Structure 1
Amino acid sequence: MQKDFRVEQTGIEPGYVLPDKVVELLAELLRDQISRLSSDAHGTDPLKAQRALEIMDDLASRGAIEWQRPNRKEILANSAPMEKLMHDLISGDLAKAAATAAEYFPFKPNTRLKRTYTQREMLNIFFRDGFIDRYSGDRLYHPGFLRLLNILLPQQFPYDAHGHFERCHEIYWDLMPSLDHQTPLARGGADKKSNWITTSMRRNMAKGPWSLRELGWHLFPAGSLKDWDGASATFVFLVEKYIEMCKPHRYVMDWYKSTKLHGQLPKVYEHP
């Protein structure tokens, strides 16, 4: 038996009777749509909820459905802070949005703190960490050694004092050690040796003011100078071998002097 399903203003000829299967399919589609609207009306997305409420209220006023309107204030009270802020903005209440932002997202300006280390301070930490990138576990090389490569092989290892990527060989970002504050100064970290850590220039820049937990990183153990000295001894040996080429370069010579006099430098560079 077929149901008399007449639809006005649909383009269907008056008096046309839809088959039962079509009626059941349309009814199922309508039920799914209404169920989705009801779910959105009870959800925490304020824009979806607002639109769903408008449609459901209209259907209820026409007698097409019966439903109990959700308590949006209660739902909003239990929603995430950003959803509360979205609700205030969608409703057009900027003053309330500002109050919500101040309550849940207070701005805490971070003072940009710069720290300049002496070569001695840097070398102490590099030796302590065994020239290991504590954020990746990779081996790093003595800063003087990497700059020496530019002096001896300038075409193969170009270097730019201002650090322009297009003018610098990538080894100066990937293999050059630098000091970082494990807990950033801007986040309350202390400026002392226990908070200083060895890492590559690239990872130092990537880490910025974020904590290891926020980045999903972890701290790798320090290395041993018995296993790896960052080519420190090789650096001293090569400077002495090519001393005339190195003398005009203060950066390399300063590193040479501080490294050769450092008590932890392996003595393999000396002739027996």
Structure 2
Amino acid sequence: MIKMENVEKVYTKGVRALNNISVTIEDGEFVYVVGASGSGKTTFAKLLIREEKMTRGKLEVCGYDLAKLKSRDIPKLRREIGVVFQDYKLLNDRTVFENIAYALEVIGTKPEEIELRVMEALTQVELETKADLKPTELSGGEQQRVGIARAIVNRPKMLIADEPTGNLDPKTALEIMRLFYRINLQGTTIIMVTHNRSIVNKVHNRVLEIKNGQLVGDESKNNGSLQYDYASGDYLLI
């Protein structure tokens, strides 16, 4: 899914954001990328979707060699990847349905397919009854669920979430994390950039730690982060 070899990113004026990063992430993994502000973790995520171009090294994402990827092929790469933002990035003059449908309209999906896929995504995030509301009529947690629905509506192989719980209270943040885990259980690879150590410590997954542009930690803690609750019929974080 993702293979980095000796990847470096140097911005103008010699600012080195990433230095000699080598890491492999397999299909279906759930990986946290952690680090202090300015450590390079956001640059790490931007390289994966070619929002930024690496200075040197090798990088393969979803079968694409990003060192050789032409500008005209970047949209093809991004169809394989859904992105969830901290600040939601919803269009307040459009309904929930229209916000999600837009992601399909721009790639020329047929109208009948759009309706089917949007409602499927809304059902997955448990907002199927709020399709006709505007984002301003929703809570912060519901707005983030719309953002997640928009990210998964194209059925991507991978989700990149950049501080998705940063604007949410702890209870809502945990609900959003449970949703991400349900998506991951269906086979979607998830890369989550976060500084929220309480979330990272609560669940047990692989953690990549970046400090001053260098990968200083790669810890796997796959020892049972979910428990099936028969009363609710769902997986709960433990």
With the shorter chain as reference, the TM-score category is: under 0.3
- Structure whose residues are more often helix by fraction: 1
- Structure whose residues are more often strand by fraction: 2
What is the TM-score with the length of structure 2 in the denominator?
0.20
Over alpha carbons, which structure has the higher Rg? Answer: 1
Point out which structure has higher relative CO (alpha carbons under 8 A, 6+ apart). Answer: 2
What is the TM-score with the length of structure 1 in the denominator?
0.19
